[in-house]
Amino acid sequence: MKKLMNEAGSVVEDALRGMAAAHPSLRVEGGVVYRAEAKRGRVALVSGGGSGHEPLHAGFVGFGMLDAACPGEIFTSPTPDPIVAATIGTDGGAGVLHIVKNYTGDVLNFELAGEMVEGVEVASVLVDDDVAVLDSLYTAGRRGTGATVFVEKIAGALAEEGAPLAEVARVAADVDARSRSFGVALTSCTTPAAGKPTFDLPGDQVELGIGIHGEPGRSRVRLAGARELAEIAVEAVHGDLPFQDDLLVMVNGMGGTPLIELYGVFAEVEAFVRGKGARVARSLVGNYVTSLDMQGFSLSVCRADDELLRLWDAPVSTPGLRWGR
Amino acid sequence: MKKLMNEAGSVVEDALRGMAAAHPSLRVEGGVVYRAEAKRGRVALVSGGGSGHEPLHAGFVGFGMLDAACPGEIFTSPTPDPIVAATIGTDGGAGVLHIVKNYTGDVLNFELAGEMVEGVEVASVLVDDDVAVLDSLYTAGRRGTGATVFVEKIAGALAEEGAPLAEVARVAADVDARSRSFGVALTSCTTPAAGKPTFDLPGDQVELGIGIHGEPGRSRVRLAGARELAEIAVEAVHGDLPFQDDLLVMVNGMGGTPLIELYGVFAEVEAFVRGKGARVARSLVGNYVTSLDMQGFSLSVCRADDELLRLWDAPVSTPGLRWGR
C-alpha cells in the first residue's frame, strides 16, 4: 500500500488540519468542521459520516450548503458526541436539519444525538438513493450515496433563504425521493488501517453496483467500454425511477479515476438520457462522493422541477462546490 | 490496465464531447475548446498541450481565465493548425497571449502557429517552474507544470480588466519567474495507448521530482510519511527560490490520489512554510495538473505581492476553478 500519510491512525486528523489551514471560511473544533462565520436566525444543516469520501461532507460546509460536518474515522460513523456539539453549535434558533446517509451506524448515532440535544428543534432526512442492492453490508434498506450532494445543495439553498425547518426537511426528503444512484468499480479501495485492498477484483472484471465502502454490488462482469458501463448504470437508475423532463445528473469519480475518463462517461450518459426523451438540465462531473483510491464512477440522477433547479442554481461557496458568489 | 474508455484512440475526443455536453459555457470546434460567448475588444488567452492533465487546460477556459485551449492527444502536443484556429478565433482586436508549458513539442508548435497567423498580434509566455531537473525527456530547460495554473489565472484576470497585450504578457512572465514546483510520484501513470505503466516503481519506493508525463525525476527513495515527503518538496522549492512574505501555494494531486491525502500533505506544507517565516496567503488543494491515474502530488509556490493577490482573488468561472461569480 502506498499512501500519502503520516500514520494510519492520524489520516483524518491530519486532513482536518489541512482543511482548516487551506480554507479560512472553515473552523475545525472538536473534530467538527464548522463555517467560520455562522449566520443566525435561519435553519442550520448538519451532516456527517465516515471519512474517505472527500469532498463529502466537510468539503460541503459553507454558504448555501452545510453549517457543519461531523467526519468519523475512515468508513466509520461519527459518535453521537460531535453530532450533539455540531447541532448545538450551529442552531441559530430556527432548528437544525440532520442529513444522514442510510448506513446503520450513521442512522443510529444521529438518532441518539438528536435525542441527547435539548432545547434545539431537530429534524432529520435520510438519504437512500443507491438502487444497486436492497440491504447491504452496513445498511438496512438502500444505501445513501451520490444524492447526498443534491440534498445538501438544495436544502442548503432553501435554508439560506430563510425557509422554516419543516419546509427544508420536506424538500430535502423530496430530493431524495426523486434521486437514484448506481456505482461501478474498476478496482477496490484500500483503507489506511487495512493496508490492502478491501476486496479482490480480477484484472479483467468490474463490480456493478459497488458501495462507497467497497460493499458488494449486484454482479461482476467482464471489463467493458465506457459506453457499455454507462448504459448499465443508466438502465439501473432509469429502470428504478424512469427519467422524465429535466434532470440533475452527476457522474462522480470514486477517487482514483482521472477526470478525462469521467468526461468520457458523461458523454455517453448524456446521449442515453436524450435517447430516453429526457434532458440533462444541470450536471456535475468530478470527484464528489469518493471511496478513497477506488477507480470507477457512480451515476446519480434527480428528477428536478423548476423550483429545484432554481435552488440548485442558487449561489454556493464551499471548498467542494462553488458558483454564483 | 483498467480504464473507463471506449477505445484508446478516442479518449480525448470522447472527453471533449463530454465537456461540451456538461458545460454550456464551453464550445468545442475542430478539437479546440472555446468560451461559448467570446468577449471582444480585450486581450485573449490561448493555451494547450497534451491531454491527460485535466482539468488543465480545457477546464480552465472561461471568464477570468483562458479564451481557448488546444488539447493534443494524450501527452502529445497539439499541432499548429488548431492553435492557429484558436488564435484567430479568439482575437478580439487586442491581440492574443499564448501560454506555453516548456516542452519541446509545445514550444515548437506554438511558435509555428504564431508565425502562421496573419493580422493578429501574438505574444507568448513560457512556463518553466519545475525545479526537479534541468533538461528532461521532452524538455530543454525546466519543465512547465503547476505554475501554469497561477499564470493562467492571474493573466486571465488582467486580460479581463482590459490590460494591453504587452502588460498581460509581462505579468504572466513575472508570475512564472516567481513560481517553482516539485512533484512526488507514488505510482506511475498508465497511458491508454501503452496499456501498461510508463515506468516501474517498486512498491516500497517513491520517485522524487517526477514529471507530469512520468519523466524521471531526481532520485528514488524509500516510501516515507507525508511529513517527510512534504518537507522534501518544500526544501526543493524553497532551496531554488526562498520563500518570502505572502505565498500562493498549490498542493496538486496527480490524478489517482484521494483528496483526504492531499489535505494531509497541505497541513505539513503549511507548517513548513510558517517555519520559514513566510505565509500561505492563498491556496489550492486538489487535482489541477494531473498525470492521468498517477498517485502522488506536486507542490507549487508563487511569491506573490499585493497586486498578484488582487488578480488571484478576481472572479473566475471555469469548470476547474471558480469563485466570486
Give one DSSP letter per residue of A154-172, joined into a string: HHHHHHHTT--HHHHHHHH
Among A23, A57, A98, A213, the one annotated catalytic? A213
Pairing label, strands B316-317, B279-286: unpaired
d(CA B143, CA B212): 9
Adjacent-strand bridge partners of A98: A46, A124
Cβ distance B180 to B201 under 8 Å? Answer: no
On chain B, the residues whose CB falls within 8 A of the CB of A255 are 258-259
Give B186's Cβ-side CA count (13 Å radius): 24
Q: Chain A residue closest to B15 (CA)?
A: A264
Average confidence (pLDDT) over B189-201: 96
Nearest alpha carbon to residue B61 among B274, B321, B318: B318
The percentage of residues in chain B with a pLDDT greater than 70, rounded to a whole number, is 100
d(CA B202, CA B218): 16
Average confidence (pLDDT) over B227-256: 98
d(CA B114, CA B123): 8
Q: Residue B14: which of A3, A52, A226 has the nearest Cβ?
A: A226
B6–A270 CB contact, under 8 Å: no
A263–B18 CB contact, under 8 Å: yes
> What is the structure's pLDDT at B275?
98
Q: Is the pLDDT of residue B154 over 90?
A: yes
On chain B, the residues whose CB falls within 8 A of the CB of A264 are 4-6, 11, 14-15, 17-18
DSSP single-letter state for residue A97: E
Q: Residue B54: which of A7, A258, A293 has the nearest Cβ?
A: A258
| Mutation site, A3, A75, A259, A283, interface B, largest B CB count within 10 A | A259
> What is the structure's pLDDT at A194?
96
Which residues of chain A are under the pLDDT cut of 70? none
B4–A261 CB contact, under 8 Å: yes
> What is the structure's pLDDT at B187?
97
Whole-structure pTM value: 0.98
Cell numbers given for A263: 468526461
d(CA A253, CA A230): 13
> For B19-46, how does the pLDDT look when each residue is reduced to its tens digit (9 = 90+)?
999 999 999 999 999 999 877 899 999 9
Nearest alpha carbon to residue A320 among A10, A4, A26: A26
> What is the structure's pLDDT at B90?
97
DSSP single-letter state for residue B79: P
> For B297-317, how does the pLDDT look when each residue is reduced to its tens digit (9 = 90+)?
999 999 999 999 999 999 999
> For B86-135, how does the pLDDT look when each residue is reduced to its tens digit (9 = 90+)?
999 999 999 999 999 999 999 999 999 999 999 999 999 999 999 999 88
> What is the structure's pLDDT at A39?
73
Nearest alpha carbon to residue A178 among A71, A311, A288: A311
| Mutation site, B196, B221, B263, interface A, largest A CB count within 10 A | B263
Question: Which residues of chain B form CATH 3.30.1180.20?
Answer: 179-303
Size of interface A-B (CB pairs under 8 A): 186
Helix axis angle for A226-240 and A259-275, nearest 10°, is: 50
* Separation of CA A119 from chain center: 29
User: Which segment of A167-176, B135-144, B217-226 scores lowest on mean pLDDT?
Assistant: B135-144
B259–A255 CB contact, under 8 Å: yes
B15–A223 CB contact, under 8 Å: no
d(CA B138, CA B140): 7
Query: Is the confidence metric ipTM above 0.95 for this complex?
Result: yes
Q: Is the pLDDT of residue B325 over 90?
A: no
A15–B263 CB contact, under 8 Å: yes
On chain B, the residues whose CB falls within 8 A of the CB of A270 are 18, 21-22
- CATH code at B11-177: 3.40.50.10440
Cβ distance A56 to A288 under 8 Å? Answer: yes
- CATH code at A179-303: 3.30.1180.20
Q: Residue B223: which of A2, A280, A322 has the nearest Cβ?
A: A2
Cβ distance A318 to A214 under 8 Å? Answer: no
Ramachandran angles phi, psi of B55, nearest 5°: -75, -20
Catalytic residues of B: 53, 213
Question: Which residues of chain A form CATH 3.40.50.10440?
Answer: 11-177
B22 contact partners, CB below 8 Å, separation of at least 6: A263, A266, A270, A283, A285, B319
> What is the structure's pLDDT at B197?
96
Cβ distance A127 to A86 under 8 Å? Answer: no
Cβ distance A129 to A181 under 8 Å? Answer: yes
Matching residue, cell 435517447 = A275
Q: Is the pLDDT of residue B271 over 80?
A: yes
Q: Give the three-state DSSP class for A67.
A: coil
CA distance B157 to chain A (A): 16
